[in-house]
Structure 1
Amino acid sequence: MSLDAMDWVWTRSTSKGNARTVLLAIADKCPDERCVAYAGTAMLMQRANASRSSVRAVVDALLASGELKIVEGAKGPRGETVYHLPYAVGHTLSRSDESWLDGVRIRPGSDSGPGQDPAPGGSESGPAGGQDVVPGGTESDPQNASNARERKEQQQSHAPARAASAVVEQLQPLVDALAAAGVAVRWSLGLGEQRDAHRLVERHGVAALVDLAAHRTAPGDAPKSARYWLKVWSDLDRPAPPSPAPAGNVVPFRGRSAPAAASNRQNLLAALGNIESRENA
């Protein structure tokens, strides 16, 4: 779970500064003991409060250190990179670090209203008050609800790709090749459209379709629908446009045809001359 992964970053990681913050942000999104999570550059920029170039630089440094790895061929639901914290696998948060939670109770409502006696050292709602509040807020807080949604998406994104994709078996090589090329696709084709896609695969091959999609996809692009790519691939069936005809004022180059015509004319005149001389003899 994320607490174990985050505890490993706090206690065992050698990262510093922005690199440590970025690693903590990724660890916070790990849904289980595999310590695998997806994270987009925009999210890491927001959590680290750093520029895009700084985030990319620290991610490269973490990859070089071995504390962070990229899961090849895997993408998040919006095309995010999937990361793995290999050294955090198997690390567990010490029970002594959690024991302070045993006696904590969350009081409903607020004791800081008018007429309430302030607790020693300040009001109960203040920083020095005696109100028992779990750091991070209750489960109904917007931030915690957002984290819960993110963890749910993480768990769903790690499900087997074949179970999640509603495509026929004949299209699976195309699905796998597109994922390997980094082209994220939302597969939502009907059976008739899948049949059209399979015909294109048989006619042009998987490599041609993947190459065309890869040339039209930039890093960080949001996943496009399979219906969009079906229209793009259909262009492969269109014949190439004919070459333009020469302009009307261009005289074709005759090469050696003119001398050949003159030679034929001379031969014809000579033959006629021989016939005429025989008739006169």
Structure 2
Amino acid sequence: MTIDAMHWVWNQSTTTGNPRLVLLAIADKASSAECTVRMGTTELRARLNASKSVVVNAVDKALASGELLMVAPAVGSRAATYQLPYAVGYRRPTPGSTGPDSGPLSQSYRSGIETPNAHQGSGIRTGSENARGPESGPGGSGIETPRGPESGPLHQTTPTRSGSKQDGPPTTAAATVIPAFAHPLVGMINRAGYDTLRWNNLDSAEWLIIHALIKAHGTERLARFAIEQCQQRQITYGRYFISGWKDLAVVHDDTPEGVSRLPALRPVPSPAPSPAVARRNASRDYLDELSAQLRAGGSQ
């Protein structure tokens, strides 16, 4: 997976400079199919051979591009966990392949060989009727020489990319429209002055996560968190907020509206008397008892 992830960074990533080096450093260590890596600032500094401020700035730019995600933040001595989301499932083209790994060759790379029917011979045709090879004998064999694409020979000797380089992160047709339940959230963030954020790179699974987070925390709390993040750093894609929203503590409040719960009242125990007070009380009790005995004897 490491080679595939690095191939994706080299050929598909839109980042440049230090953010691209951060992606390459993480891809070099990615050994799982999920392309997740636990890596701290110290290790990134060693790989980039740069200062802490340069590394932190490069990581922030890579996160803002959407091509790097922070799956779990750093806690104590435990490093943060990063993911290359667009490298998940990516496979580099097989060496010597003549086209993309998935799907048929494009129309411009087809040889144009056609067999009209079984009664008319092979009927081999080229992409252009004007390009004909030499005939094999008198009358000709009728087999026309196939011609490769206009830009090169018929058979490629170098592997092609699995897809053209994109101008931005890939999107799906289902995720190009913001769902209705997210309109209030996106609207609050836009009204705060951050209406240039791009939300069209989220897939349906991520919108479902946001829907659950809205139910758990409320629209206003998620919007406030997103605005605070935008004030601290330059953010381009709305996907950046999902990991932070997941870390928000859930506030449980089962008290009915308008009712204030007070703690149950408990009796306060009386303080134990001091030794001197205890002696005085014992002496007083003895004198009272003696007086009662004398009164009882005098009355007889």
Judge same fold: TM > 0.5, yes or no.
no
Structure with more of its chain in helix, by fraction: 1
If the length of structure 2 is used for normalisation, what is the TM-score?
A: 0.31
Q: Which has the larger radius of gyration?
A: 2
